[in-house]
Chain A
């Protein structure tokens, strides 16, 4: 015969065993989810790391007019002034 105290101890052990069994059954699925999430986050970080400098460079280039001329040494501002001046005269 076991007394009440021993019964409680055995009961707690049984409860702990059930929790452990439940957790061990869930663990592979949880680990797979965690790895997948980590993979997605790493993929996004990689894409952003590559794309951000490209997009920044692209937007920076877009804000500044680029002038190419067949006259070496001609000042870019001279051509920009002409582009502006012609519109003012039109």
Chain B
């Protein structure tokens, strides 16, 4: 009986711990692609809070020169020089635009003014909806 309880409880505890770890690992790989570039300030934010319960991982890139910003834009096929560009991308290929199907995606947001790009990793519909709600609520509060 005791062995049975231990056998049942331990996998549950391990599973709870490992789910978020897998998400973090996916963002680690994305961050590692950019972290070694000298003219690019890069950061990964684990568990960026969208509301009380939903958190996402984000990779942020900020070019420190116009040349680096040009390179980054070319890599991600971002057009224009003004405003903000936003699209959904393949999590393994941020330049590849995709439609939302419920599979993990990157929400890519590029700001020309900040020479910055945010790659928000969305694992499921809950995170996708929470991100939209976050933007709507912030906009309402700013009015």
The interface of chain A, by Cβ under 8 A from chain B, is: 36, 39-40, 43-44, 47, 51, 54-55, 58, 61-71, 74, 79-80, 82-90
Residues in B neighbouring A63, C-beta threshold 8 A: 47, 49
Residues in A neighbouring B34, C-beta threshold 8 A: 70
Q: How far is the CA of A53 from the CA of B7 in the complex (A)?
A: 19
Q: How far is the CA of A61 from the CA of B45 in the complex (A)?
A: 13
Residue on B nearest A66 in the bound complex, by CB: B46
Q: How far is the CB of A81 from chain B (nearest CB, A)?
A: 10
> Across the interface, do A47 and B5 meet the contact criterion of CB distance under 8 Å?
yes
Q: How far is the CA of A87 from the CA of B137 in the complex (A)?
A: 11
The interface of chain B, by Cβ under 8 A from chain A, is: 1-2, 5-6, 9-10, 13, 16-17, 20, 31, 34-36, 40-49, 55, 58, 60, 62, 84, 86, 109, 111, 114, 116-118, 120, 131, 134-135, 138-139, 142
Question: Which of B16, B45, B55, B142 meets A88, CB within 8 Å?
Answer: B142
Question: Which of A36, A55, A65, A66 meets B16, CB within 8 Å?
Answer: A55
Residue on A nearest B27 in the bound complex, by CB: A68
> Across the interface, do B13 and A90 meet the contact criterion of CB distance under 8 Å?
no
> Across the interface, do B13 and A51 meet the contact criterion of CB distance under 8 Å?
yes
> Across the interface, do A74 and B41 meet the contact criterion of CB distance under 8 Å?
yes
Q: How far is the CA of A35 from the CA of B11 in the complex (A)?
A: 26
Question: Which of B20, B36, B43 meets A68, CB within 8 Å?
Answer: B43
> Across the interface, do A87 and B41 meet the contact criterion of CB distance under 8 Å?
no
Q: How far is the CB of A64 from chain B (nearest CB, A)?
A: 7
Residue on A nearest B47 in the bound complex, by CB: A65
> Across the interface, do A86 and B43 meet the contact criterion of CB distance under 8 Å?
no
| Those 4 A-B pairs whose CB atoms lie nearest each other, nearest first | A69-B43, A43-B2, A86-B118, A90-B86
> Across the interface, do A70 and B41 meet the contact criterion of CB distance under 8 Å?
yes
Q: How far is the CA of A44 from the CA of B1 in the complex (A)?
A: 11
Q: How far is the CA of A55 from the CA of B47 in the complex (A)?
A: 16
Question: Which of B5, B44, B116, B135 meets A43, CB within 8 Å?
Answer: B5
> Across the interface, do A74 and B49 meet the contact criterion of CB distance under 8 Å?
no
Q: A51-B13, A68-B31 are in contact. List 6 more A-B contacts (CB 8 A).
A: A61-B47, A79-B43, A82-B118, A86-B84, A87-B109, A90-B135
